[in-house]
Amino acid sequence: MSHQSQSPLSAGRSRALSGRVRVPGDKSISHRALMFGALATGRTRICGLLEGVDVLDTAKALQALGCPVTKVLGRGVGGLAEPAGDIDYGNSGTGLRLMMGLVAGHDMRVRFVGDPSLSRRPMGRILKPLMQMGLDVSERGRETLPLTIRGSADLLPIEYRTPVASAQIKSAVLLAGLHASGETTVIEAQATRDHTERMLRHFGAELAVSERNGGRTITIAGDAELAARDVVVPGDPSSTAFLVSAALIVPGSEIVIEGVLVNPTRTGFYVTLKEMGADIAFRNEREEGGEPVADVRVVHSRLKGVRVPPERAPSMIDEYPVLACVAAFAEGETRMEGLSELKVKESDRLAATAAGLAANGVPAKVEGDALIVDGCRASGSVRGGGTVATHLDHRIAMAFLTLGLGADRPVTVDDADTIATSFPEFRGLMERLGATFAAPEVVR
């Protein structure tokens, strides 16, 4: 995605938000639905696919690898073809890392490139286990894009203990494990989002999962054959988080977001908000496509600061920037711990979030891997009025536009175009609920 010119946007204090909306499909599940559909034999139909730039980059990559994506006509495990040129993953770290695992089981050469933000992000943690299985990397010792890899049709099965809590590492290894001759096992000290395991089973993979002491061991059988399946993609909880946060900080608000994924590995944000005193309820809980789904009702609430323990980070890693913005409106200090992964996202989200808060009059500091936000105490007022550097990061942009909806003065982000990476409908859905956005020189 090109960012040669920036499009600043401001959010001003909003009237009460109200209404019922549905957010686009979950980004993590959308990536996986496309990839697993490509490895399955037959035609996979996907309902609710997120059509953000990141997911569309995965669709383009699969087309370059010889898989039609009008309705994902799968090529079978090991059936993809060498692309004619580079595969450009834009800003999508999730798509890229999973695709490396998928490509690893094919005897072909693929060169991956990305935008400046993605080209700074570390890939070594993904490449290490894949190289143990037989992947070859042309740029020896290099861990950032551009990277040229060559897969193998004869991957070795491995047992791999993940060094950090990362669903991306786990998923890449399991995808490669489909092609290995034997059983591949991934051991997690902390359980991470389990969409890969659920969807692999949905497509017919042989998978065994055991849980112990908060961790998880996953074993997948190699030489796999996947069968095409229909997939329903539930609403993205990370996108939902911005609407939920806006309703909590704008007085008089009450909204319902329909059909949201409430997988237990993704609900740490809601657990934390309830500890802060938020009036949030899951209604009409059900299962769709193997995933738990609910309608989320949110009412404006008076909040208090809390400590968010490090072990909760894997279940809400993408929501910390907007949680920090919500914490600005809470009474007292909120301390979020164990956030080392935020430093290697689309930007250094830890530093970017602290800087954005400071620019808008909110005392915040980083201590190691912790972010401490000193809320508004009893005043209930956040000054706002600042301009936030997004660093090409969609979640930083949306988090601070959300802050602006409750602040005394408008909050400006330097580039709103990056929002299309994951949530192109963000502004439209917010405005349907009653939010106010405009070009910086117009909002007062």
Catalytic (active-site) positions: 318
Q: What separation, in Å, do the N-terminal and C-terminal C-alpha atoms of the chain show?
A: 31
CA angle 376, 350, 362 (to 5 degrees): 20
Residues near 311 by beta carbon (within 8 Å), at least 6 away in sequence? 190, 214, 338
Residues near 401 by beta carbon (within 8 Å), at least 6 away in sequence? 9, 10, 11, 411, 413, 416, 426, 430, 437
Q: Tokens at residue 403, please? A: 């802050």
CA angle 332, 400, 301 (to 5 degrees): 45
The residue whose two tokens read 């030489």 is 223
CA angle 203, 206, 210 (to 5 degrees): 115
CA distance 137 to 140: 6
CA distance 322 to 395: 8
- Burial of 351 (C-beta count, 10 Å sphere; 0-12/13-18/19+): middle
CA distance 74 to 41: 5
